[in-house]
Structure formats: structure tokens, C-alpha cells
């Protein structure tokens, strides 16, 4: 950590693009620092570029030759005279290489230490740390002999997954619902694994067909001190992509919330974690099971719902901590007094299998009103580039109850006008009006069939 010399205005290098770059520029302003943007040539004219005090072009449009190159970002940090680098999410945000290059230059990195990034960056090592910290993880058992599989499966409980130890990418995974099925499929799976991966070793893992994705926002002081900023539910997903997030997670019992928060606190303490992070869990809706998924060692896309719910500025806190200052985060209750919900508006065509839909945005109008926040880099006349992800904006609404928030968000989403490209707004209109979502607590497997059903109804009507 570097302390900026007394009296000097600290310089923040923003090593990202899109809405999060705009967000980091705002946080830099918030703490009285000077934001400098490290941008690809394609983003030289972006909103973040115009809001920053200076822009340094680090490479061409392709992320592989610009945003994904730690040495270019570190070089830009040197050029900028940066005191701290904030890498947002994605790109280099969790790359220990960038953190190390900066450390060598005595420039702070607004994130955890490189060793923490390595410890949580790998699923196996993350699971090991979690287990050591007493965090509940998914029960898994290796099968030595396929003929004993059923007995092991009975001990684990059903449904469960048969996975190849040396498999990957979802291949060789089988779902079984009972002892008989397991006994029948295990030898078959072993044979196939042997054929496919040259090794027949299998393991069994509990499968939760109707679990929610709940995550806990943490902030560590780097010395074992931990603050927990509530939880978020991010269960509305399409192909593991989060679509809608909310804070707090609705309908969690006090006991269950305590398990999540305590486990997260223990993990952060064990890691002597520095800065903002997220501990992700599966929360089963059919049992009391809670299972650690992974830890994200960065600011998340969905951080605004936590900020809105608690009235805090997590990105400014990251910058302050990295600069050796008090992050100025209050202690908050486990459940905030208001509810915040976010929808991600993507440049994708929902009626065409969510195909990315870049192009000229001829006109855009964001909604206004109390409790409405829009995090975006998109303006009228912006040519949405094809090189990067499709996130156009995050529309966040805060209200005094979940019911009020859902309704307010529906009105706000309805008032968004985007012309020139197709967006995921119809999806949000669908979800925000759906009784299941309005009731709260849908699982991660809810969206896909619900959307299918909606599409088939539309097709029927059209015929």
C-alpha cells in the first residue's frame, strides 16, 4: 500500500471500460482524487474518457492487446503517476500479475494481495481454504469402486451428480435420482470416463435442482478485520449469467442468514482479505443446505444494490483503503432498512437467442425519479462496440419494501427508451411482472423454462 504524499491529489488509474469505468471515475471524484483512464483505442471517446482528467491509450480495440495486458496497464500507471490502480471487474481485476507489477512500481492495487488472488482464484484451493475456515461446502465423495457407488450415494442423499475426476467442461456428468439409478449408471460412467479421459475415477456430488444463488458482500481491512454488508440474491440467471440482483436476499430465515454471514466472515478473516469481495453460495430451497460456491476477489457488477440498500460507496472505500486511508465504511445491520433491485440491460436480442446486438444507439433516455440509479456509459449517439461484453446499463431502484421496489423497477424499466439496438428490456418486463418473481426467492433454474413458456405462448398467439 502506498500513501500519497501529504497534500498531493492522489491519481487513480482506471483500468477498465464501460459502465464500471464511469463508476470508478465517480468514486475517484468522490474521494477528491484525479481519475486517469487507461483505454483501448476503441474507447478513446467513451464517456469515461470524457469524464476522466486524462486518457492513456494502452492498445488497440482487441482486449487481448489492451485491457488484458498487465504490463500495458502497469506502464500506463507509471505514465499517469498513479497512486492506485482500480481494475473494475473482469479483465485484469483478479490477475495477480497486475497486482505484482504494480507492487514492484510501488503503486497500490485496489484489490486483495496477489497471494489472496491466487488462493481464491483456483476452485480447488478456494474450496480448501473454505473448508479450513469452517465454511459449508458441497458434499462430494470419490468412488473407488463403481460397485460400491450406491452405498456412498445413499449416505450423501439424492439427487446427486456422478462426475469424472479428470473430466471437465460438463462432460461425463450424470444426474441420478436414487440408489438404483446410481448402481446402474456408475459402471457405465466409469467406462466412459476411462475412454474419454484415460482415467475412470469418479466422484459423487449432491445436486440441488432448485437452489438459489445468494452472495455475501464483505470488506476486509487486510489484517483479519471484516465488515459484512448484507447479502444479495442473484438467482435470476440465464446460462449462469446473472440478469437481476437484489439486496437483501428475500425470504431468508434469520438462522440461514446467520450461517451465510458467519461463514463469509470466517473466510475473510482466514484470508486476512483486503478490500471488497463477495462470497457466493448455493442456498437450497428444498432443504436447509447452504453450499459455498466461490469467492470473487473484486467489486462485482451487482455491487450497486448493496450500496443503495446500505447508503455506502464500496468503490470509494476500495480506493481509500488502497491509498492507506480509512475506508469510511459504517457498521451496518445484517438486513438493510430498504430494498434495492438491479436489472442488467444488455445489447442482446432476446428474441434471437440473446445474440449480441452492437451498433449505433441513436437515442437513449434513462428514467428519473427518487430511488432510481442508472450506472451506464451509454448515451444518445454512442456506437456500442462489438469488441467487448454486451452490458449497456444497470438500472437500480431502491424502495422501502420489496413490493414497492419491484413495482418501482417495473415502472422505471418501462420508462427506458433505447433506439438503434435490441436490448434485454423485454426480458425484464417479463420477469418483473411474473408472480413467481414478485413472490420472491426463485431458484437459478427458474428463468429458463419460464422464458421458454413465455416464448411458446407468444408463438401460439402469433399462429
Partner 1 sequence: MTTPSTPSWQDILDLVTQLDDGSFASATVEFRDVSVRVSRSADATAPAAPSALAPQVPQPTATVVAPPAATAVTTVPVVAAASPVAPVSTGTLVTAPIIGVFYRSPTPGAAPFVEPGATVTADTTIGIIEVMKLMNPVSAGSAGFLKEFLVADNAQIEFGQPLAVIIEDTSS
User: Is-contact 38 14, C-beta < 8 A?
Assistant: yes
Query: Which residue among 8, 50, 177, 439 contacts partner 1 (CB under 8 A)?
Result: 50
Rule CB under 8 A: choose which of 37, 99, 216, 391 binds partner 1.
37
Order across the sheet with 34-40: list the strands.
54-59, 34-40, 11-14, 84-86, 108-109
Residues 64-123 binding its own copies (CB under 8 A) are none
Touching its own copies, residues 223-262 (CB under 8 A): none
Q: How many CA atoms lie within 13 A of 234 on its CB side?
A: 25
283 binds, among its own copies, partner 1, none (CB under 5 to 8 A by kind): none
Q: Which is nearer to its own copies, 86 or 256 (CB)?
A: 86
Q: Which does 411 bind (CB under 5 to 8 A by kind): its own copies, partner 1, none?
A: its own copies
**Catalytic pick from 298, 344, 398, 402?**
298
Chain centroid, CA 237 distance in Å: 12
Q: Does 59 bind partner 1 (CB under 8 A)?
A: yes
353-372 footprint of partner 1 as x/- string (CB under 8 A)? -------x-xxxxx------
9 touches its own copies by CB under 8 A: no
Residue 67 CB, shortest distance to partner 1, in Å, is: 12
Q: How many CA atoms lie within 13 A of 402 on its CB side?
A: 17
Is 312 a binding residue for its own copies by CB under 8 A? The answer is yes
In this structure, what C-alpha cell is assigned to residue 349? 436480442
Does 368 participate in catalysis according to the annotation? no
At CA 166, angle to CA 162 and CA 168, rounded to 5? 75
Interface with its own copies includes 45 (CB under 8 A)? no
Minimal distance, residue 394 CB to partner 1, in Å? 17
State which of residues 367, 426, 440, 441 lies at the interface with its own copies (CB under 8 A): 367
Order of strands, sheet of 226-238, starting from the edge strand that comes earlier in the sequence:
290-296, 274-284, 211-221, 226-238, 241-247, 339-346, 391-399, 372-376
| Grid coordinates given for 289 | 443446505
Q: b/e string for 395-422 if b means 16 or more Cβ within 10 A? A: bbbbbeebeebbebbbebbeebebebbb
337: contact with its own copies by CB under 8 A: yes
State which of positions 122-161 bind its own copies (CB under 8 A).
none
Within 93-152, the residues that bind partner 1 by CB under 8 A are: 101
Query: In the window 398-417, what residues touch its own copies (CB under 8 A)?
Result: 398-401, 404, 408, 411-412, 414-415
CB of 411 to partner 1, least distance (A): 17
Binding site for partner 1 (CB under 8 A): 37, 41-42, 44-45, 47, 49-61, 66, 71-72, 74-76, 78-79, 101, 360, 362-366, 379-383, 417
Binding site for its own copies (CB under 8 A): 22-23, 26-27, 29-32, 51, 304, 307-308, 310-313, 315, 328-330, 332, 336-338, 367-373, 398-401, 404, 408, 411-412, 414-415
Catalytic residue numbers read 298
Amino acid at each position: 500500500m502506498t500513501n500519497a504524499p501529504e497534500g498531493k491529489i492522489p491519481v487513480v488509474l482506471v483500468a477498465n471500460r464501460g459502465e464500471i469505468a464511469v463508476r470508478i471515475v465517480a468514486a475517484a471524484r468522490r474521494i477528491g482524487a484525479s481519475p486517469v483512464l487507461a483505454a483501448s483505442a476503441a474507447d478513446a471517446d467513451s464517456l469515461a474518457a470524457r469524464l476522466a482528467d486524462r486518457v492513456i491509450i494502452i492498445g488497440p480495440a482487441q482486449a487481448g492487446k489492451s485491457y488484458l495486458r498487465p504490463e500495458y496497464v502497469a506502464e500506463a500507471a507509471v505514465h499517469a503517476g498513479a497512486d492506485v490502480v482500480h481494475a473494475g471487474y473482469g479483465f485484469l481485476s483478479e490477475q495477480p500479475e497486475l497486482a505484482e507489477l504494480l507492487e514492484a512500481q510501488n503503486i497500490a492495487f485496489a484489490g486483495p494481495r496477489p497471494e489472496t488472488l491466487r488462493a481464491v482464484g483456483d476452485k480447488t484451493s478456494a474450496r480448501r481454504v473454505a473448508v479450513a475456515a469452517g465454511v459449508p461446502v458441497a458434499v462430494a465423495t470419490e468412488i473407488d469402486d463403481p460397485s460400491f457407488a450406491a452405498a456412498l450415494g445413499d449416505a450423501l442423499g439424492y439427487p446427486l451428480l456422478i462426475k469424472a475426476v479428470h473430466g471437465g467442461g460438463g462432460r461425463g456428468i450424470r444426474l441420478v435420482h436414487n440408489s438404483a439409478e446410481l448402481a446402474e449408471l456408475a459402471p457405465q460412467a466409469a467406462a466412459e470416463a476411462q475412454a474419454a479421459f484415460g482415467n475412470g475415477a469418479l466422484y459423487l456430488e449432491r445436486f440441488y435442482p432448485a437452489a438459489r444463488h445468494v452472495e455475501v458482500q464483505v470488506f476486509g481491512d487486510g489484517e483479519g478485520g471484516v465488515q459484512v454488508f448484507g447479502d444479495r440474491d442473484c438467482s435470476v440467471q440465464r446460462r449462469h449469467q446473472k440478469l437481476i440482483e437484489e439486496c437483501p436476499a428475500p425470504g431468508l430465515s434469520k438462522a440461514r442468514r446467520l450461517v451465510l454471514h458467519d461463514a463469509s466472515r470466517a473466510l475473510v478473516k482466514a484470508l486476512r482479505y483486503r478490500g471488497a469481495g463477495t462470497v457466493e453460495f448455493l442456498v437450497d430451497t428444498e432443504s436447509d443446505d447452504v453450499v459455498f460456491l466461490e469467492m470473487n476477489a473484486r467489486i462485482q457488477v451487482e455491487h450497486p444494490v448493496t450500496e443503495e440498500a446500505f447508503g455506502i460507496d464500496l468503490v470509494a472505500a476500495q480506493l481509500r483503503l488502497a491509498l492507506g486511508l480509512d475506508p469510511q465504511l459504517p457498521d451496518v445491520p445484517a438486513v438493510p432498512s430498504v430494498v434495492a433491485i438491479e436489472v442488467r440491460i444488455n445489447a442482446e436480442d432476446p428474441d434471437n437467442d440473446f445474440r449480441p446486438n452492437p451498433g449505433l444507439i441513436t437515442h437513449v433516455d434513462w428514467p428519473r425519479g427518487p430511488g432510481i440509479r442508472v450506472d451506464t456509459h451509454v448515451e444518445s449517439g454512442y456506437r456500442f462496440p462489438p469488441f467487448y461484453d454486451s452490458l449497456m446499463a444497470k438500472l437500480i431502484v431502491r424502495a422501502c419494501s420489496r413490493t414497492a421496489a419491484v413495482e418501482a423497477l417495473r415502472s422505471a424499466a418501462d420508462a427506458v427508451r433505447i433506439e438503434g439496438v435490441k436490448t434485454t428490456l423485454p426480458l425484464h418486463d417479463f420477469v418483473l411482472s411474473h408472480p413467481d418473481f414478485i413472490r420472491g426467492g426463485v431458484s437459478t433454474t427458474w428463468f429458463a423454462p419460464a422464458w421458454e413458456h413465455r416464448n411458446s405462448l407468444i408463438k401460439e398467439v402469433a399462429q
